[in-house]
Amino acid sequence: MKCTEFLQELTDYLDGKISENLKIELDEHLHWCKECHVVMNTTKKTIEIYRDNELYELPESLRTRLHDAIMTKCRGSKSGKKSTT
C-alpha cells in the first residue's frame, strides 16, 4: 500500500468504517511508515477534539483542509516551512 492510498482511507479508518481486511492493510502500513503514523496521530487528535465537543462528524471544510494538509505533507515538501496550526 502506498502512502496516498493509506491517506485516502485514513478518516474512514479512524471512524471505524472500513472492512477488517483493509484495516489490517492500514495497520501494516503504519508499522513501517513513520510519516503516516504521525499524520494518523495528528488526525486522530483532531477528531477527538471534535468528539469532545459532541461534533462527531467532521465538518466537510475541515475534512477537506485536513486532507489537503495530509497530501501536502505526504508529497514531502521539505521547504523548511513548518506548519504548527
Contact 64, 57 (CB under 8 A): no
- Name the one range near Zn ion by CB under 5 A: 2-10, 44-52, 59-67, 76-84: 2-10
Q: Per-residue contact track with Zn ion, 20 to 59, x per CB under 5 A?
A: -------------x--x-----------------------
Q: Are 18 and 26 a contacting pair, CB within 8 Å? A: yes
Q: Does 3 bind Zn ion (CB under 5 A)?
A: yes
Lookup: cell for 11: 478518516
In the block, which residue shows the cell 501536502? Answer: 72
Which residues of the shown chain bind Zn ion in the complex (CB under 5 A)?
3, 33, 36
